A and B are shown apart, each in its own frame.
Chain A
Amino acid sequence: MATSNYQRLTRARINQHFAVITATRVSLWLGSDHLLHVENNGFTEIYKRFYFRDIQAFTVLESRRRGIWNAILLVPVAICLVGVMACAFPVRNAAAMFVWALFAALFLVPFAINTIRGPTCNCQLRTAVQTEDLGSLSRVRQTHKVLEKIRPLIAAAQGQLTAEEVAARMQEAAAGINPGRQPEPPAEPPIAS
């Protein structure tokens, strides 16, 4: 069997949760000298390559998605628990309690998985000509693992900067663009948290 030249970094993740028909699955793969972003709509795959020598920055912003989903999942759990209680008092109905508990478990399992997987995030990759949302990097822990894996590869391709060096160069760039004051922010819309 032929083997792929790519190593999987993330599992495929649905990009749009509510657009079932048009939803695409995105994943991230590691090549010899680049990252491969794969967008799969079921019948075609669209590839974007980010060469290590061209990657300028990764931006990771913690989002509230986990909390929102947990809140959504807790509502039916609460309803089911009320159902369990209603079946327990005043007359105990074991069969009905079991059914309510089963329904509660149906929502508790995704709740537990969502909680265990850790905080969610939005990750962007920046090059000289684009800023790409990496939809497959949706958890902070997973993003850290991927960054740990690719950081040395990018450093080998273009070198490394310390936090102090970056800060100094940023100050320099800000002073160069607009001496004496904070530069105007870009017009791009902020990413949803």
Chain B
Amino acid sequence: MSPLIACPKCRAWLLDGVFNRLDMAPCPSCGAPLQIEAFPALFRKINPGQSAEPVMVEGESSCFYHPQKKAVVPCAGCGRFLCALCDCEFGNEHFCPACLEAGKSKGKIKALDTERTRYDTIALGLAVIPMLLFYFTIITAPMTLFVAIRYWKAPRSLVQHSSARFLLAIILALLQIAGWGAFFIYLATRHS
């Protein structure tokens, strides 16, 4: 990828005058107020991937996936020996592709999480939204309790760990159930 940066408005290449200033400056081409903060990574050459070396000496450790290639590092997940080709460096650890994939799909490697379901918001939504048409709450209140209890230990949001929504949903659901209970008791006692 070329290090050149184009003006987001007129698409002319920016070569001078707008880089690493502390305030906005006009684009030399279209005059749009612009600020560009550039860092050394913009000019860094991308290194080509390493190729695995073949095993030269008999008895030398070989890669689990490529037995004819020399092992360079063990996997931090499963301990298998990996060649330079299979070595996936992540953070400061080395993983084999299988562990990396498993870590991603099972959510074991937190830094690979790209999506999380907000069960606390779902539970709160189930508790609050049906209150607009209150008679739905006879179904949704038990559902709210189920979701809140079933997913209480599910991974929470990466940025908001609070249990407040779950607790609020449970309290509302219990109040709704209590309300329905009182209503049915009232009906039963009135007819008897």
Contact = CB atoms under 8 A, between A and B. Distances in A.
A165 B160 CA distance: 41
B122 A43 contact: yes
B115 interface: yes
B5 A59 contact: yes
A45 B158 contact: yes
B3 interface: yes
A169 interface: yes
A171 B16 contact: yes
Main secondary structure of the interface of B (DSSP, over half): loop
B36 A58 contact: yes
B33 interface: yes
A2 B117 CA distance: 18
Contact of B115 (A47, A58, A61): A47
B15 interface: yes
Interface string B100-134: 00000000000101111110011001000000000
A38 B43 contact: no
B170 to A, nearest CB: 16
A62 B23 CA distance: 11
Contact of B24 (A42, A140, A163, A170): A140
Contact of B39 (A42, A45, A158): A158
A124 interface: yes
Nearest to A61: B8
A138 to B, nearest CB: 14
A173 B2 CA distance: 8
Interface of A: 1-6, 8, 27, 29, 36, 38, 40, 42-49, 53-62, 119, 122, 124, 126-129, 140, 144, 147, 151, 154-155, 158-163, 166-167, 169-171, 173-174, 177, 182-183, 185-186, 188, 190-191, 193
